[in-house]
């Protein structure tokens, strides 16, 4: 009788552990504009960065650069970036107060420390608590992922010019996928480390 109770407890504990573990693999990405679970398996849904779904952010920011997914930086970084648009990396990118607030709400509501996404969590773990990075390319995660790529293929490549030009190598980046196995460096070709 006691042995039966022990095995029952072991089975119950295992079921509870499995159930709690699957909570991290929820359908949260669908809420932020990702593909439905029919389109992608669980691993892919939680590894891609949720898509940019705010039209004003897409329009205003992509006029000058790739509209980075909010899951690349923590909330504090997006607040600092949006609070200093008068000197946005040497440019005046000021918007109306209403537009600034709308875009900031979108960014901080989907920031790396808000969304349940493995990719964003990996970036977040590479940022110390007291750090507020303003460039995704300056996070330890980004630097580690790109450390094997020779500078001549990026900064020395007139078709890329900078690590901040994500779409010049990650051709599916605007779809939230930065899979390292799909890297195709403009002017060079497929990259395989």
Comparing CA positions, the residue from 53, 5, 62, 38 lying closest to residue 176 is 53
Could you tell me the CA-to-CA distances from 30 to 129, 175, 183 in Å, in that order?
29, 13, 25
pLDDT band at 193 (very low <50, low <70, confident <90, very high): low
Lowest mean pLDDT among 38-42, 78-82, 118-122: 38-42
Computed over its alpha carbons, how large is the radius of gyration of the chain?
Answer: 20
pLDDT band at 60 (very low <50, low <70, confident <90, very high): very high
Tokens linked to 124: 């977040």
Helix, strand, coil percent content, the chain, rounded in steps of 5: 50, 5, 45
Lowest mean pLDDT among 15-19, 29-33, 119-123: 29-33
Q: Is the pLDDT of residue 145 over 70?
A: yes
H or E, element range at 184: strand 184-185
Q: Where are the domains of the chain?
A: 39-185
Task: Output the pLDDT for position 126.
Answer: 94
Model pLDDT for residues 88-129, shown as the tens digit of each residue: 999 999 999 999 999 999 999 999 999 878 888 999 999 999
176 φψ region: left (φ > 0), alpha (ψ -120 to 50), beta (else): left
Model pLDDT for residues 64-75, shown as the tens digit of each residue: 888 999 999 999
Model pLDDT for residues 149-189, shown as the tens digit of each residue: 898 999 899 999 888 888 888 888 888 888 888 888 988 88
Rounded mean pLDDT, 8-14 = 74
Strand bridging mode 189-190 / 184-185: antiparallel
Task: Output the pLDDT for position 38.
Answer: 42
Highest mean pLDDT among 12-21, 43-52, 78-87: 78-87
160 φψ region: left (φ > 0), alpha (ψ -120 to 50), beta (else): alpha
């Amino acid at each position: 009788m006691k042995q039966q109770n022990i095995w029952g407890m072991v089975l119950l504990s295992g079921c509870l552990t499995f159930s709690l573990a699957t909570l991290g693999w929820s359908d949260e990405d669908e809420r932020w504009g990702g593909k439905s679970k029919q389109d992608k398996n669980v691993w892919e849904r939680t590894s891609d960065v949720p898509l940019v779904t705010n039209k004003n952010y897409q329009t205003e920011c992509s006029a000058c650069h790739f509209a980075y997914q909010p899951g690349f930086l923590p909330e504090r970084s997006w607040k600092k970036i949006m609070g200093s648009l008068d000197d946005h990396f040497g440019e005046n990118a000021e918007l109306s107060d209403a537009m600034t607030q709308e875009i900031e709400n979108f960014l901080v509501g989907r920031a790396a420390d808000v969304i349940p996404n493995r990719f964003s969590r990996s970036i977040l773990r590479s940022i110390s608590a007291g750090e507020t990075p303003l460039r995704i390319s300056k996070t330890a995660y980004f630097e580690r992922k790109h450390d094997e790529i020779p500078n001549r293929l990026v900064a020395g490549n007139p078709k890329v010019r900078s690590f901040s030009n994500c779409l010049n190598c990650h051709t599916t980046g605007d779809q939230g996928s930065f899979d390292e196995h799909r890297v195709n460096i403009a002017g060079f070709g497929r990259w395989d480390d």
